[in-house]
Each structure stands twice: as C-alpha cells, then as structure tokens.
Amino acid sequence: MPFDPLQTRLIRRLGIANPVFGFAHDAAAVAAITNAGGFGVLGATRHTPEEIERDLAWIRTQVGKKPFGVNLVLPTGMPETDNRAAIEAQLPEAHRAFVRGLQEKYAVPAASQAGMRSRFVRSEESAQAQLEVVMRSDVNMLACGIGSPLEVIERAKATGKLVLALVGSPKHARNALSKPIDILVAQGYDAGAHTGSIGTFSLVPQIVDVAGDVPVLAAGGVATGRHLLAALAMGAQGVWMGTAWLTTAEHHMHPVVRDKLLAARSEDTVISRADSGKTLRQIRSAWSDEWAAPGAPSPLKMPLQDILVGDLLGAIDEHEVQALMHHPAGQSIGYFNEVRTVADVMDGIVAEARTRLERLADENEVTTATATS
Ligand SMILES: Cc1cc2nc3c(=O)[nH]c(=O)nc-3n(C[C@H](O)[C@H](O)[C@H](O)COP(=O)(O)O)c2cc1C
C-alpha cells in the first residue's frame, strides 16, 4: 500500500478515516464530526448529569458503533459541595457593585430565572455527579480539560474508555504523563476558550518530545489542511479543533453570536478572565472591554467569578443585549466566514492537506530543476 501520511498510527488504531478530532458543546455537531470521519468530542462541563446522559445516548443513535468522546473540566481546588450560598457569601461588594453597574449601563433586564448561565457551582460534588453518568455510558473516550485526577483516569480505563488530557505546557504534559494517559492534546495560545501562554508552533514539538510513545494532537489555531500537514510534520498524530465547528450548520448558535463569529477576524479575539475566572479566549465585545477598562475590578478566581457573573450573562443572552453578547473562540475564527456543514469543513481540510502535500513535492522538483539548469 502506498505511504499515506494522513493515516497516522493513532487513527489506524482508532479505526477512523481522518486525523481530525473535533470538540463541540453541541451534540449534533459532535455526531456530525464523527460521521464525517473524524472523532467528535462533546464538551459537557456545563451540562447537568441528566443532559450528559441524554446527549451521549443521542449521539450514539446517530453514529452507531463509530467512536466519540466526552470532555469534562476537573480543576483542582474547587469547593467540596455545590453550595451556591456559600460562594455568594464570598463575593466582594465592589465586584457585585461593578456587575450591577454593567447591568444598569446596558439596561439589561433581570433574567427570568436565576442561574441560567451558571446553573451549578463547579465543585467536587457536581464533578462526581457528571463523572458517574460518563462512567456508566458507552462513550469511547473521556477527555480531561483542566485537571486529570488519577482515580478518574483509572476508573475510565477500567470501563474501557480511552483517556485524553489537554495540556498547555511541557510541565502540564509531564504531570499528565505521570498517569496512564492514552493521548495528549497540546493546546497552544491561539486556541478558543481556556488557554495558556505558549503558542501552538512553540508548544507542539516540545510536547511531542516529552510524550514518548503517547500520541499527541495539535490544537490551537488549526483551520486548514496546511495546518494539519504542519501538525503532522511537527510530530503530532492529528489535530484537535474547536473553533472550526462553531459556525457550522449543525451547531446550534444564537444568530447574533453566529453573525459576530462569522464577521470576526483573527485579531478580534481577546483573552479575559471575566467569564470563568481563568484565562478564556473569546470574541471581543463590550463585555471584555468593560472588564479590561481602567478601574474595573480584577476578575475573581474560579468558581467565584462564574457565580458573580452567571446571572448577568444569562440575562444578556436571554434579552439579546447585543453589545455584551460574546462567545469563546480562537484566532482561527478568521478562516470561518460562512456557514458550512461539518462534512464540508472536514473534507476541505483533508483535501487541502493532500493537495498541499503534492504541491510541496512539485515545488521541490521545480526548484531542483532550476538549480541544476
Ligand atoms: C467554544 C469553545 C468552548 C471550549 N470549551 C472547552 C471545555 O469546556 N473543555 C476543554 O477541555 N476545552 C474546551 N475548549 C477548547 C477545545 O477543546 C480546543 O482545545 C480548542 O478549541 C482548540 O483550539 P481552536 O479553538 O483554535 O480550534 C473550548 C473551545 C471552544 C472554541
């Protein structure tokens, strides 16, 4: 069989067609990614256990035996119980006043119900409840976002799941590699949502070097077949993409936010701690501007910031306060300017990687001929 650089060892092992892993919070997008020959992974950190159970079961009905995964964020240092009152009691008055001030300035009506955006407090208790349904499900992979506790990894593996960890630095990678992780995602600074400080090009080869036999996926800024080829050249066995799917036809998205995403260029994303307390890359909006303005308080730590701003964020979305509406997205958003199907995005990336590979060979041939003539 001729050598096909896109058929990496990892994807042959997983039995999937393309070296493209896709993260999305939307079950329909996840199913479409798997059905397009990739590996879809459902972001479920803000899902209730019931929603996780429902979505995983639904995705299975769509993909049959093809593999897909689920992602949870399991940071250390969270409170033990899902006790909202205890968190609220810790919110400084100056921060509450700032949030009230934003609500008044932008005339945001009150949300029709509390906790629409932050329906539960990130806590050991809520994480356990989410994990229980994941462990009971037949999902093929658990992808750990922030934090990968050993007991969780061991339990997932005991139920036949692959375990993947996202890392943003060689230090994170060494920590993850001290546990029985199956796959690492090296996620660079360009990425949407929670992100570290090292750019993807600087990060990926370093992670490949420390990972040994553990396969690495490159993430952060991947949008085209050229990125995919570059990732493989850096030693990754595939790419892991999040931003790419936000504007796809399958991904449910508020029309105002979708228009903002479609119009955004790479330079229109910013990193702000104002949503969750951790650095989160998102589309720039009045929300990120207000929190970065002189005199604004420094956002609180996770999970306090979640609770401080959760009701206001819920109200902003409910009442469509356009200036403040925003969404996590990475710098690759500049490549996605029209609504396309997941399969079209996937096929485009794979086809471009193949054409580009041929062109590399052709261009080299021309250069050699010119040099010797
Ligand atoms: C809207 C959005 C939400 C995300 N939420 C999570 C999350 O909950 N957990 C996680 O591990 N990664 C999350 N990520 C990061 C993705 O897993 C992925 O690493 C990242 O999107 C890759 O970079 P890219 O955005 O440039 O494609 C999110 C990304 C986006 C765009």
Q: With a 6 A CB cut-off, is 23 part of the ligand 1 pocket? A: yes
- Identify the residue whose C-alpha is closest to ligand 1 atom 1: 328
* Residue 171 pLDDT exceeds 80: yes
Query: Can you tell me the mean pLDDT for 203-222?
Result: 98
Distance from the alpha carbon of residue 43 to the mean position of ligand 1, in angstroms: 8
Query: Can you tell me the mean pLDDT for 113-139?
Result: 83
How confident is the model over 52-76, as pLDDT tens digits? 999 999 999 999 999 999 999 887 7
Q: Band the pLDDT of 3: cuts 50, 70, 90.
A: confident
365 contact partners, CB below 8 Å, separation of at least 6: none
- Identify the residue whose C-alpha is closest to ligand 1 atom 18: 242
Q: Band the pLDDT of 373: cuts 50, 70, 90.
A: very low
* Residue 1 pLDDT exceeds 70: no
* Residue 287 pLDDT exceeds 90: yes
Distance from the alpha carbon of residue 263 to the mean position of ligand 1, in angstroms: 20
Residue 287 within a domain: no
* Residue 286 pLDDT exceeds 70: yes
Distance from the alpha carbon of residue 15 to the mean position of ligand 1, in angstroms: 24
Mean pLDDT, the chain, integer: 93
How confident is the model over 225-251, as pLDDT tens digits? 999 999 999 999 999 999 999 999 999
Q: Which atom of ligand 1 is nearest to the CA of 145?
A: 11
Residue 89 within a domain: no
Residue 267 within a domain: no
HEC sequence for the chain: CCCCCCCCHHHHHHCCCCCEEEEECCHHHHHHHHHCCCEEEEECCCCCHHHHHHHHHHHHHHHCCCCEEEEECCCCCCCCCCCHHHHHCCCCHHHHHHHHHHHHHCCCCCCCCCCCCCCCCCCHHHHHHHHHHHHHCCCCEEEECCCCCHHHHHHHHHCCCEEEEEECCHHHHHHHHCCCCCEEEEECCCCCEECCCCCHHHHHHHHHHHHCCCCEEEECCCCCHHHHHHHHHCCCCCEEECHHHCCECCCCCCHHHHHHHHHCCHHHEEEECCCCCCCEEEECCHHHHHHHCCCCCCCCCCCHHHHHHHHHHHHHHHCCCHHHCCCECCHHHHHCCCCECHHHHHHHHHHHHHHHHHHHHHHHHHHHHHHHC
Q: With a 6 A CB cut-off, is 190 part of the ligand 1 pocket? A: yes
Strand order in the sheet with 280-283: 193-194, 280-283, 269-272
Q: With a 6 A CB cut-off, is 40 part of the ligand 1 pocket? A: no
Query: Can you tell me the mean pLDDT for 282-289?
Result: 98
Tally of domains within the chain: 1
Q: Are the beta carbons of 141 and 163 closer than 8 angstroms?
A: yes
Q: Which atom of ligand 1 is nearest to the CA of 241?
A: 27
Q: Which atom of ligand 1 is nearest to the CA of 23?
A: 17
pLDDT at 116: 60
The domain that holds 49 is classified in CATH as: 3.20.20.70
Residue 148 within a domain: yes
Name the residue of 23, 183, 280 to mutate for ligand 1: max ligand atoms within 8 A of Cβ. Answer: 23
* Residue 164 pLDDT exceeds 50: yes
Distance from the alpha carbon of residue 329 to the mean position of ligand 1, in angstroms: 8
Residue 115 within a domain: no
Q: Band the pLDDT of 127: cuts 50, 70, 90.
A: confident
How confident is the model over 14-37, as pLDDT tens digits? 999 999 999 999 999 999 999 999
Q: How far apart are CA 357 and CA 137, in angstroms?
A: 40
Q: Residue 240 belongs to what domain range?
A: 9-81+120-246+338-355
Query: Can you tell me the mean pLDDT for 107-132?
Result: 81
Residue 320 within a domain: no
Residue 279 within a domain: no
Q: With a 6 A CB cut-off, is 26 part of the ligand 1 pocket? A: no
Residue 71 within a domain: yes
